[in-house]
Structure 1
Amino acid sequence: MDDVRRADQLLEQVVGVAARLGVRPEEVVEVTGGVANRGFGLGDRMFVRVARAGFEADLRKEIAVIPVARAAGVLTPGIVEYDESREVIDAPYVVMGRVHGIEPTDVPAELAEQLARLHDGAGLAVPGLPQDDWRDPWPVIDDLAERGFLDLGTAKWLADWFSRLAERFDRDQPTVLIHGDVAAHNLLVTPDGELTGLIDWGDAAYAPRAVDFAKLPLEHVAAILPDYVRHSTAGLRLDELAAGAVWLHLDWALGKLPAAPWPGQRHWTAPPASRILGLLRFFAGNPPEPWSGLT
């Protein structure tokens, strides 16, 4: 009952914000599915996101990153107002422009240029963002073998795979501003598949470029990476980026293996075995160079 009362109270508070912005109460509609925020459409032009408890810092981060991303030419909705005073709504909230679209079933071609614009905007600084880097995967493999998730032969094979990948790209390259959660549920497209928006910047960070290709299936990464290299002004090499992407997919797949099942989630990486089986599916499909040489 308390949850229902709080939900009704929040809706009333959002309706109050909407009224101040000239939106009628009947135009306020909650959009379900957000993990970090509750979302409400305010008619056709605006959208409200209210931080859930524990995710306030993510929303604050978005407020800092979105203007920078838009300045770099990234398709993401602009900020109308942000308030963390809790005087109007009993949680930090942001009103944004509303971008219309549906979740894609395939990777939109325009995503390559969008990510190149974001990553190449190195001079557009966002103070306070976390700094992520490459993790050393060999202790992870040893731990999985000791705990019985891997046999010793497979553990050695995986360790050797990482050693070969390590020779294919430079892990000391400068980090860039990344979105951090480039996945289908954060992309909006037209019915024809044209990208209209990249949303939800709560995982933004400074990290290797390849991290923004780690939450897409490798088939989708292989489809857009050549265009990403072509649009980038950083003089990138396709084979090095591909090796980094495979490294991350393999590293994150191994890290996920001991996890408990997480039913009811829509993103493809939720089941513990999805990433490792995604690697198997990708390489079993005879991918072209440079991918075929990265096993």
Structure 2
Amino acid sequence: MPLPPLTPTLLLAVTLTAAAQPAPPTPTPDSLAQVNGVLWTQQAVEHQAVSLAMYRAASAALVAAAQAPVKAGAWATLETGPASTGRKAVVMDLDETVLDNAAYSAWLAKANQHYVEPTWQDWMALRQAKAIPGALEFVRLAAKLKVDVFFITNRECVPKDADPCPALEHTRRNLLALGFERAAQPEAFMLKKQRPEWDSSDKTSRRQLVAQTHQIVMLVGDDMGDFLPVAKVAALRAGTPDAETDRAMTLLGKRWFVIPNPMYGSWEKAVPRDALGRLGALQAPEGWGAP
């Protein structure tokens, strides 16, 4: 049917309705600084390609690791144990390794917000994170090879009502909806603050617990903290790694597999938080300027 004529009264009503809508926030330099990393994660074919490539390489390495006998010296971690059961394990991070949270980062950028725990808890409750390309196939392969996957994550247990850790159930249901059958087993998860002694972002003690019952043959993550103790990561970033770290770094591409994450990570501790400070931290050629 034809639209009614745009009379002065109707025009005023439309104008008032539009004025009542909150204006989108003006982008700040800090929010704009997040845009490229989020766009690359959400839209670049290269992000899909490199994630798939890393998981395919990890899958080939896992087949070999699963077939090898349990023996000393075959650990993929600095944390070792008796592995008395003969079971093998892969330890994986979750966020930006298995689960894609770029939509949350996109919201932060568009709303001029920084990461804070309450909005992150709200995001987890939505259970809308997608799977990183290649992750589902890799976890399914591990199950087929009878290698147990453990998800050691810094998703945090923040009690709400009578639930001491809503993040655990939200995470499990998100993964189950994506087809990760391992998520049906709560013991596969180790969240920050799930136990009193797990009150740090350092994952060392949690890897050590897995090592008491399993030989850890592979690590997969998006941050060096998924592979090394926090103190060793800091020394590595400062260019002063110890000999143990140097030896461990030889596992990259063999037993350690890093999924790219340009949006956030412990690398941010080594650079200024604000956008202008980060601009000053860029390393350009000295004594040279374009004509």
Shorter-chain TM-score bucket reads under 0.3
Between the two structures, name the one with larger relative contact order (CA 8 Å, sep ≥ 6).
2
The normalised TM-score by structure 2 is 0.24
Instruction: Give me the TM-score of the superposition, normalised by structure 1.
Output: 0.24
Q: Which has the larger radius of gyration?
A: 2
